Amino acid sequence: MDKACYKNYRGDVRMLQIRKSGSSLEEGAEWYGVQGKYHDLFCAHCDAPVHYSQGSLSIAGSSLNGQSPYFATDPKAQHADDCEWDLKKKVNPPRFVDKTKGYRVHINVQGYSDLFNNASGAYARDAKGRIVARDKDLKDRERVVIHNVSDFVSFLEKKDMDRIAKSRVVFRNQVLDWNDFFFRYGKPSRYKSLATELSTRSKNKEPRFGLFEVRTIEPHYITRNGLYDIACEDVPNQDICPNGNPYYIRPSISLRKGNDTMAITQFEGFEHRFLVLAHVKGNRVEEDHRTIDYLNLVVTKSSQIVAADVEKIYKMRMATTLSMPKPAPAP
């Protein structure tokens, strides 16, 4: 619903209308947001409490447009029997979920870089206008929606560990296996595979994105060429290049100055282990005595960064699993 009411400071009831493309303001109404924030909104047809919802950027993290802003009924609130508020909901049959498969992780975020927003065909609309997955393997997986990187911490702490490892991640129609998405500091082979991929990747290809576990170095950040650069420890890697030189993988984090100062404050404390949801740029440098793959994680929002110790999370989960009593043998 795009209309609701509120009472102004004089106690007069005023109609609010959400501005949408091509819409015209109804007589006696005012655009929502013009007067700032509103409190105690209620239905335009009865007294049921409602609230403003900004909708979503996309559907299930795909490139398909999501829900436009609207007024929604407050939890547990009920409208009058003769109310004209449109509350009709389609009742769909329950969807089958295969619990032996990993999760289908949707990254549905507002405000992230448009560099991610290229369609590659993971979803489409069928003849009835419904959103369907093109990949049959995605259809019967349990859905998990991620709104910021902190949700990934909860995901790692609470979801089934075996199924996490078999998960697939969807963002703006790109689909990645979990091991091609989550780059752990303690799993250097994943970082090495990524570095090799980036060293041969076409510049015209859409950006590579992922969830990165990094460990920062003090001092946490410096300013260089209009960017905040956060230095990170080399990924522990013992490989030797074919030419016999030592090989290093060196991640770093870049944040444009002024974009989101809250992101910088993330690195001012004592924490030095982070999860970063970002797109990554690679640069391989071959010197006479060593080869270095520089991996630059580009960050635009503080919601892409969270202090987290993945090794500690996994150790606590393993300890909990081992301490649980074993089920009695089947009779």
Q: Give the whole-angstrom CA distance, residue 67 versus residue 57.
A: 7
Q: Which amino acid is at 176?
A: L
Both 70 and 144 in one domain: the answer is: no
Any domain includes 26: yes
The parent domain of residue 160 ranges over 104-317
Same domain flag for 150 and 254: yes
Radius of gyration over every alpha carbon of the chain, rounded to an integer in angstroms? 24
Q: For residue range 195-247, list pLDDT tens digits in order.
A: 999 988 877 677 788 999 999 886 556 666 666 788 888 998 777 776 778 88
β-pairing verdict for 104-107 and 143-146 = parallel
**pLDDT in single tens digits along all 331 residues of the chain:** 778 887 776 667 778 888 877 778 877 788 887 555 666 788 877 778 888 887 665 555 555 555 678 888 888 887 766 676 764 444 456 678 899 999 999 886 654 444 444 444 566 655 655 556 677 888 889 988 887 888 999 999 999 999 999 999 987 667 899 999 999 988 899 999 999 999 888 776 777 889 999 998 865 566 666 667 888 889 987 777 767 788 899 999 888 655 556 666 666 666 688 999 998 999 999 888 888 999 999 887 777 888 899 999 999 998 877 665 655 443 3
Say if residue 225 is in the same domain as residue 268: yes
Last residue of a domain, one of 89, 115, 144: 89
Do 123 and 231 fall within a single domain? yes
Domain boundary, last residue among 89, 119, 134 = 89
Same domain? 110 vs 152: yes
Residue 96 counted as domain residue: no
CB 13 within 8 A of CB 5: yes
Query: Within a domain: residue 176?
Result: yes
Nearest to 211 by CA among 102, 59, 107, 61: 107
CB of 105 closer than 8 Å to CB of 167:
yes
Supply the pLDDT for residue 102: 96
Model pLDDT, residue 262: 65
Which is it for the CA torsion 151, 155, 158, 159, positive or negative? positive
Asked if 83 and 130 sit in the same domain, the reply is: no
CB 161 within 8 A of CB 320: no
pLDDT of residue 200: 86
Q: What is the pLDDT of residue 19?
A: 80
Sequence length of the chain is: 331
Structure tokens at 127: 């003849």
My answer on whether 236 and 122 are in the same domain is: yes
Answer whether residue 323 is part of any domain. Answer: no
In a domain, 327, yes or no: no
Within this chain, do residues 109 and 245 fall inside the same structural domain, yes or no? yes
How far apart CA 25 and CA 27 sit, in angstroms, is 6
In a domain, 324, yes or no: no
Q: How many domains are contained in the chain?
A: 2
Contact 266, 305 (CB under 8 A): yes
Beta bridge partners of 6: 14
Answer whether residue 328 is part of any domain.
no
Considering the domain architecture, whether residues 78 and 175 belong to the same structural domain is answered as no
Residues 37 and 158 in one domain: no
* Structure token pair of residue 73: 């009924």
Assess whether 85 and 108 both reside in one domain.
Answer: no
Same domain, 206 and 304: yes
Give the Å distances, CA to CA, from 165 to 179, 214, 296. Answer: 7, 19, 25
Q: What's the chain look like in SS3?
A: CCEEEEECCCCCEEEEECCCCCCCCCCCEEECCCCCCCCCCECCCCCCEEEEECCCCECCCCCCECCCCEEEECCCCCCCCCCCCCCCCCCCCCCCCCCCCCCEEEECCCCCCHHHCCCCCCEEECCCCCEEECCHHHHCCCEEEECCHHHHHHHHHHCCHHHHHCCEEEECCEEEEHHHCEECCCCHHHHHHHHHHHHCCCCCCCCEEEEEEEEEEEEEEEEECCEEEEEECCECCCCECCCCCEEEEEEEEEEECCCCHHHHHCCCCCCCEEEEEEEEEEEEEECCCCEEEEEEEEECCHHHEEECCHHHHHHHHHHHHHHCCCCCCCC
- Sign of the CA dihedral running 222, 227, 232, 238: negative
Q: Please, what is the angle between helix 310-323 and helix 149-158, to 10°? A: 20
**What pLDDT sits at residue 159?**
94
- The verdict on residue 97 lying in a domain is no
Domain boundary among 59, 89, 119: 89
pTM: 0.67
